[in-house]
Each structure stands twice: as C-alpha cells, then as structure tokens.
Chains A and B, each alone.
Chain A
Amino acid sequence: MHIVVCVKQVPDTKIIKMNPKTNTMDRASAPAIMNPYDVYAMEEASLLKEKYGGSISVLSMGPPPAVSTLKKCVEMGADDTYLISDRRFAGADTLATSYALAEALKKIMQEKGAIDLIISGKQTIDGDTGQVGPGIARRLDIPPLTFVQKVADVDLSARKIRVHRKREDGYEVVESSLPCLISVESGINEPRYSSLPNMIKAARHNPVVWTVDDLEGIDVTQLGLKGSPTIVGKVWPPEKSGGAEMIEGSVDDQISKVVELVMARKELFQDGSEMNDGTTASTND
C-alpha cells in the first residue's frame, strides 16, 4: 500500500527564546527539529509497511533546511520524500497549508500512483492546532480520522481500515474506507532506533523539491499569507501572575496555612463532589 506521511520541521519551542521587543521567535536561539508528534506518524507508517508491504512517501512544506527532517524520515524507513518550498507558501495558516499540501499530494499521485493512506501528526509544536491533518482530508474529500491511538487492522482487498479513536473517557472503534487520513496520538508506538542501512540510505538521499510552479493548476491566491483567512493581530508575553505569595515560617505554620487556604473552599468537599473530579468517576458517566 502507498502511505504518505506529512511532517513539518519546527523550531524547538522548549528552548526557543522570544524577542521581548517584537514578540517574535528568535529562530537562531533554537535548533530546527522534526515536529515531535510527526515522529510517531512516521513510525506508524513504517510499522504498517512492515505489516502490509508497499511504499512510504513523505511530504513537507517549509524552507529548504526542512530537507534534514525529510532525511530523518528516510532513516526511519521512508522511500521517497518531497519538499514543497517557495516564498509564495510563506505565512500560510492552516487553511492555506492544507490547500498547498493537498495540491502536492495530487502531484505525488500522478508521479507515484494512488495513495491508500495519509498519516499526519496530532499537532505541531509551533502551529499547534491539529487542524492541518483534517484539513488535508477534506481538501481531498476523504475521511479524516483524528486522535487515532491504534491502527487495529487494514484490509487492502476490501479497502477498509479499522482504528481506535481516543475519547475523553476511553476510545471508539471506527471503520473507514480507504483512502483516508489518520492523525495519530503521541505514544501510539515506540519510535525506533534506525538501522545502519537506513542511516546510510538517508545520508545518500536527496528529497524531491517542488516550487509553486511545479504544481500545475495551483491557485496562487489560495497560498501563503494571501490565502490565509486568519491573521495575527496583537501578540504579547503571557502575563506572569506577579509570582507566588511565599508561605514562610515553620513547616507546621506552612502546613496549617495551606490547609486553611484549601478548606476555605468547603464547597469542594460537599458530598458527591468527588463525582465531578474523576478519581471516583465510574464508567457510566
């Protein structure tokens, strides 16, 4: 089966510094990494390929350095990788991103044949919306299956897939026709330590790079900033609550102060209140 994984290269938001004047990211301050959630998407593709055979393509939109992320995907088992990179893609919101990616996916189909399954990550750590995956699916008019925590079965002859979708209180078993898009939860698998042959393959690998002009019939008005309905208005640093009021004194003083603070909210301790807080919530709610 032909699987396409969508991956994005992102700045490591854990260590990135913000420019306090402009409230923009100081990209130099953080290394560009493969979006942590997409690692699970890539791994899931490799597991499915091992089980059902076929081939894995990887698609990314971003600036040229994203090539290193695509090479990482080859280390993890990808066969072909495609980068769409062009100033005209820049500044895209989720709607414009899903449009550009969907157009690239159509070209991949032309070049490499029909796609059976598209896998995206749960979300990116910079965009952080989880909207691009489903967006791509709608663009291609195939079912989006989000919050997938397990791929239970793929039946290629019947062109069906069965997955477990995470719910707040458990999961649901959903069956869908192929092709479809699944966006996978982190922890759906254990990303592997790549084999040496794959490392060597990746070192030799060169991603296919497409610009806007390579995507015939694409509507440039739907791309990048121009094609994005949402714009960022004001940005500001999250207000730190001026810091905690420190509870000083002997340990016993500190303890009794905390107890006082908590017991002041006595409504929390009325009978049955535990029903709302989950620990004792039974399965029937």
Chain B
Amino acid sequence: MTEQQQAQTTRRARSNPAVDGPLAVYRGVWVYIEVNDGKIAPVSLELLGAGRQLADKLDIDLAGVIVGYQVQGLCEEVFAFGADVCYVADDPILERYRSETYMKVVVDLVEQYKPEILLYGATSTGKDLASAVATDLKTGLTADTTILDVEEETRLLQASRPAFGGNIMATILCKNNRPQMATVRPRVMKSLTPDRNRSGKIIEYPVQINEEDLKTRVLDIVKNVQRSVKIDEAEIIVAGGKGLKDERGFQLVHQLAETLGATVGASRDAVEAGWISHQHQVGQTGATVTPKIYFAIGISGAIQHLVGMQNSQMIIAINNDPDAPIFQAAHYGIVGDAFEIVPKLNEAFEQALQQKEVVDIG
C-alpha cells in the first residue's frame, strides 16, 4: 500500500464508528444454528461456511448459536463446520421453537457478547426469529439474502438480495446499528467439508425462563402424512407449467420425476389450475429452490418464477416458444413440443439408469 493510500484508509477508518468508534465493541460473526429433530438444518451449515469467510476477512471469530433441548452435543459438528465458538442454551423449556423463548435467549446473548454480524437461514423459523430479534435490538435486518460479502476497511456487511419481485438486485447496508443481521436463502452458500479435529470454546447460557410467564405454547407438531415435499432440499427437480395443457399432460412431469427420483415442481399457473398442490410451487410465492438440476417444462419463465429457481446449478428448459424468457435463465434449452420430447426423454433415462445399476454391481 502506498503511504497516500494508507493515509486515506486511516482517515476513513478514523471517521468510521465500526472501526474505532462506538460500534467497535461489537466483534465476531455469529450464525444461528437451526435444529430440527436433533439434526442441524443444512442451511445453518452452509452459513457456517459463508460466515467463516466473513470472519477471516474481518480477522475475528466465527460463532454458532444453538438453542434447544439436548443440543449441547451438536457443538462438535458446529466446530467441525468452521466455528471457533459455540453459544449454547440447553433447557427443557426450549425443546420446541417459540419466538418468545428463543428470541429472549438470542437477544440476551447479543446484548452480553455483542457480535458484529448475525446470520440466520431464511427458513420459517429463521425468519420468524430474526424479525423479532431485530425489532427488540432496534437493528437492521436484510431478508432472503443470496449474496454475502464484507468490506474489510469499513467492516460493513454487504447483504444482497433480489428486490421488487426479482426485477433488480440490491445490496443492503446497516451502517450505524449492530449487529448487522441477515436471513440467507437455503442452498445458496457452500458449507465447508467438515474437519472433525477442529474444536472450540463452548459458552453456556443460563436459562431462566418459567413457563407461567409465557404467552404461547406449542401443543402439537403434525408432520405431513403424505410424502412430505421437501422441494427446497431436492437435488433434482422436474417442474412443469401451463404449457402441459391439463392435468393429464402434467403426468409427463410426474413420470420423468419418478424415473429420476426427482421432486416435482410447478409454476403458479399450474398450481392454480389445480394440477398439483401449492407445496410444489416454485417462485416468489412458492418455494425458493437451488437443486443441482432443474427441468423447466412448458414454463414461460416469468420473473416471479425465475426468482425461485435461477440459482439452480443446471437448468434445462423445454419450451416450444424459442422466445420464451425461460431460455434466458436456463443453461440448456430445447425448443420443441413437450408432448413429443418428454416421453422419449423418460424412456432414455429409464434405460440409462438401468445400465448404470448393472455397471455399479459389476
């Protein structure tokens, strides 16, 4: 760095509250660790991966925050996936997620240990918790982030997200409040390959909450009896749209998905036509998915659909309109009639997959 540059940075730095001003007491990158049925949610591990990079850039610790009952054991995994510190609140009263209890824990921890950055998965739990915490801490919260970065010099978190129904991308900054918080969409960030030798510092939170002070109770948890559609965790999605004409046409999508062991996705118009349940809807008012492979069959590619699937690793579009916007978002495109192509495609895959088994055995 030239002297001049140095001078500049120090000047800027001096004028920066986060560097040596009042906000300087806030240090550390935290990730809220979501636990479902004793397992850490994939998104939380992805966030540890992303958080690690931020922490290294800022040259500070990465911490995980675990709240629940009989969750202490999960600290090991949190370290393995990159954390240096693990805050744990472990108590029967925390067995099931409740905004009011979980939020109290997180708010207390933040007020005591003052992290600089706090990330949550953009899941129903993560969003619920984050909005409540942000309000009580009177700090900024960026929703549904898809890109995370940090500016070393100003120590500002740069959380970017689609805005206005995906019409633009916007970077949201939180200059004068701490912690800087964001919920991050699942399957956008990459988790590190776990290093079982890593370990770190465990800090326990003394839980003092008694049931009678609480206003809410979780009476029951009902899992979907029919095969639960975890479309946002699917690795392969075969999605169909209005182009399949009717429910019978939509069967093509089911067949192909069956063959590939994939999850069925759908555009809103297909859902509204009643061909398939809303659980399968991809897009702004449906699920946000990032599978390894996404088939878009008879889907025009309206912006509201694209925002839900444009981060998929490989998008293959089949549409009979060469100008359909879906081809802009897709990696591979076939212009043609779904009713001709999809059945043939299905056969081809059936064969290919059989052969593969043979190979595997041999």
Bound complex: CA A254 to CA B233 (Å): 28
Interface string of B247-262 (1 = CB under 8 A from A): 0000000000110111
B128 touches A175 (CB 8 A): no
- Cβ of B209 < 8 Å from any Cβ of A? no
Point out the residue from A23, A93, A137, A281 that lies within 8 Å of B228, measured CB to CB: A281
State which of A60-68, A70-78, A84-92, A231-239 sits at the interface with chain B.
Answer: A231-239
Bound complex: CA A268 to CA B173 (Å): 38
State which of A106-114, A166-174, A193-201, A202-210 sits at the interface with chain B.
Answer: A166-174
Q: Which residue from chain B places its CB closest to the CB of A139 in the assembled complex?
A: B135
Point out the residue from B36, B128, B258, B327 that lies within 8 Å of A244, measured CB to CB: B327
Bound complex: CA A162 to CA B42 (Å): 30
A261 touches B332 (CB 8 A): yes
A174 touches B219 (CB 8 A): yes
Point out the residue from A25, A166, A279 that lies within 8 Å of B262, measured CB to CB: A279
Point out the residue from A176, A244, A268, A269 that lies within 8 Å of B328, measured CB to CB: A244
Q: Which of B94-114 contact A (CB under 8 A)?
A: 96, 98-100
Q: Which of A137-182 contact B (CB under 8 A)?
A: 137-139, 142-147, 162, 164-177, 180
- Cβ of B236 < 8 Å from any Cβ of A? yes
- Cβ of A220 < 8 Å from any Cβ of B? no
- Cβ of B71 < 8 Å from any Cβ of A? no
User: Which chain A residues border B230 with CB–CB below 8 Å?
Assistant: 168-169, 277-278, 281
**Do A138 and B132 form a contact, CB below 8 Å, given A240-B328, A245-B332?**
yes
**Do A247 and B334 form a contact, CB below 8 Å, given A138-B136, A277-B234?**
yes
- Cβ of A224 < 8 Å from any Cβ of B? no
B219 touches A280 (CB 8 A): no
A277 touches B168 (CB 8 A): no
User: Which chain B residues border A232 with CB–CB below 8 Å?
Assistant: 170-173
A229 touches B176 (CB 8 A): yes
User: Which chain A residues border B257 with CB–CB below 8 Å?
Assistant: 279
User: Which chain B residues border A130 with CB–CB below 8 Å?
Assistant: 127, 131, 143
Bound complex: CA A98 to CA B61 (Å): 33
User: Which chain A residues border B293 with CB–CB below 8 Å?
Assistant: 262, 265, 268
User: Which chain B residues border A142 with CB–CB below 8 Å?
Assistant: 215
- Cβ of B2 < 8 Å from any Cβ of A? no
- Cβ of B162 < 8 Å from any Cβ of A? yes
- Cβ of B9 < 8 Å from any Cβ of A? no
Bound complex: CA A240 to CA B169 (Å): 12
User: Which chain B residues border A240 with CB–CB below 8 Å?
Assistant: 328-329
Bound complex: CA A245 to CA B315 (Å): 11
B223 touches A170 (CB 8 A): yes
Q: Which residue from chain A places its CB closest to the CB of B96 in the assembled complex?
A: A172
- Cβ of B210 < 8 Å from any Cβ of A? no
- Cβ of A258 < 8 Å from any Cβ of B? yes
Point out the residue from A129, A258, A262 that lies within 8 Å of B143, measured CB to CB: A129
Interface residue total, chain B, C-beta cutoff 8 A: 101
Point out the residue from A144, A235, A283 that lies within 8 Å of B223, measured CB to CB: A283
- Cβ of A81 < 8 Å from any Cβ of B? no
Bound complex: CA A238 to CA B235 (Å): 24
B217 touches A174 (CB 8 A): yes
Q: Which residue from chain A places its CB closest to the CB of B178 in the assembled complex?
A: A229
A255 touches B124 (CB 8 A): no
A278 touches B173 (CB 8 A): no
- Cβ of A94 < 8 Å from any Cβ of B? yes
Bound complex: CA A19 to CA B154 (Å): 30
User: Which chain B residues border A174 with CB–CB below 8 Å?
Assistant: 98, 216-219
B173 touches A233 (CB 8 A): yes
Point out the residue from B99, B172, B316 that lies within 8 Å of A258, measured CB to CB: B316
Interface string of A249-285 (1 = CB under 8 A from B): 0011011101101110110110001101111111101
Point out the residue from A170, A244, A285 that lies within 8 Å of B222, measured CB to CB: A170
- Cβ of A246 < 8 Å from any Cβ of B? yes
A251 touches B261 (CB 8 A): no
Q: Which of A106-143 contact B (CB under 8 A)?
A: 125-126, 128-131, 133-135, 137-139, 142-143
User: Which chain A residues border B344 with CB–CB below 8 Å?
Assistant: 251-252, 255
**Do A147 and B128 form a contact, CB below 8 Å, given A234-B171, A262-B349, A278-B263?**
yes
B167 touches A16 (CB 8 A): yes
Q: Name the distance in Å between A78's Cβ and chain B's nearest Cβ.
A: 24
**Do A176 and B169 form a contact, CB below 8 Å, given A255-B345, A255-B348?**
no
Q: Which residue from chain B places its CB closest to the CB of A175 in the assembled complex?
A: B217
**Additional 20 contacts, C-beta under 8 A, given A128-B165, A277-B230:** A11-B164, A16-B164, A25-B167, A37-B285, A94-B131, A95-B141, A128-B144, A146-B99, A164-B222, A229-B176, A230-B142, A231-B175, A233-B172, A235-B171, A246-B334, A247-B332, A251-B341, A262-B349, A269-B261, A283-B224
7 closest pairs, A vs B, by CB? Answer: A13-B165, A244-B333, A229-B140, A230-B140, A129-B143, A278-B230, A138-B135
* Chain A to chain B contacts (Cβ below 8 Å), 6 pairs: A11-B164, A13-B164, A25-B164, A128-B163, A261-B316, A262-B260
Which residues does A use to contact B, with CB under 8 Å? 11, 13-14, 16, 18, 23, 25, 36-37, 93-95, 98, 125-126, 128-131, 133-135, 137-139, 142-147, 162, 164-177, 180, 186-187, 228-238, 240-241, 243-247, 251-252, 254-256, 258-259, 261-263, 265-266, 268-269, 273-274, 276-283, 285
